[in-house]
Amino acid sequence: MLGREIHGSTLGIVGLGRIGARCRRARAFEMTVLYHNRRPRPDAEEHGARYVSLDELLSGADYVVLTVPLTAETRGLIGRKELGRMKPTAVLVNVARGAVVDADALTETLAARRIHAAALDVTEPEPLPRNHPLLRLDNIIITPHLGSATEQTRRRMAEMSIENLFAGLSGRPLPFAVLPRRP
């Protein structure tokens, strides 16, 4: 049972919002960081991340991490074509929403070993039925939407909710508002 070294590899982040912007942590592992977003983010580039097209990210990354919101534009964002652009040694990590990835295409890709592996914190449907073909594969890790289940993270989530509540009750803008997508 051996893992794979991430030191010096290339991390590709699709969706550089609040979660994806944590890319600066990859510097500790001397990783190259590519990102794709609706628009470039100068703050990310200050930390060494480079804005690229989705195709360039998929073909260049050793680890592709999905952190996009689920919208009409992102539903099925990663399908057969996109999985086909990934390296055979690449790992897909989905911490966004299950419907961002075409589960049938991912199942076929993993079964044929066209990518190395996948790690999913979310699935579509959620939870997967016990007989789902993804559950029979040995090159996938599926967690039951618990990637943020730490005492510290859950405490911070509660604090953010309270800050929003107090701001809303006093008529101030919500500090942690989920805003509609800008065109």
Q: Which one from 145, 154, 155, 163 is the annotated catalytic residue?
A: 145
Average per-residue pLDDT for the chain: 90
Annotation marks residue 73 as catalytic: no
When pLDDT is cut at 50, 70 and 90, the band that residue 44 belongs to is confident
Same domain for 135 and 164? Answer: no
Same domain for 25 and 73? Answer: yes
Return the top range by mean pLDDT from 20-29, 42-51, 147-156.
42-51
Rounded distance between C-alpha atoms, residue 122 and residue 93, angstroms:
10
pLDDT, average across residues 55-80: 96
Same domain for 36 and 90? Answer: yes
Residue type, 1: M
Residue 4 domain-assigned (yes or no): no
Residue 168 domain-assigned (yes or no): yes
- Number of domains, the chain: 2
Same domain for 116 and 156? Answer: no
The string of pLDDT tens digits covering residues 143-173 is 877 666 788 888 888 999 999 999 999 999 9
The string of pLDDT tens digits covering residues 75-130 is 999 999 999 999 999 999 999 999 999 999 999 999 999 999 999 999 998 889 99
Annotation marks residue 116 as catalytic: no
Same domain for 72 and 82? Answer: yes
Rounded distance between C-alpha atoms, residue 3 and residue 121, angstroms:
19
Same domain for 142 and 154? Answer: no
Q: What pLDDT, on the 0 to 100 scale, is given for residue 181?
A: 52
Q: Which one from 108, 126, 132, 163 is the annotated catalytic residue?
A: 126
Give the residue with greater pLDDT, 115 vs 42.
Answer: 115
Q: What pLDDT, on the 0 to 100 scale, is given for residue 27?
A: 84
Residue that has been written with the tokens 């652009």 in this structure: 85
Annotation marks residue 97 as catalytic: yes
Residue 7 scores a pLDDT above 80: yes
Same domain for 93 and 171? Answer: no
Q: What pLDDT, on the 0 to 100 scale, is given for residue 157?
A: 85
Same domain for 122 and 158? Answer: no
Q: What pLDDT, on the 0 to 100 scale, is given for residue 45?
A: 81
Rounded distance between C-alpha atoms, residue 102 and residue 99, angstroms:
7
Full domain range(s) for residue 166: 150-183
Rounded distance between C-alpha atoms, residue 157 and residue 126, angstroms:
22
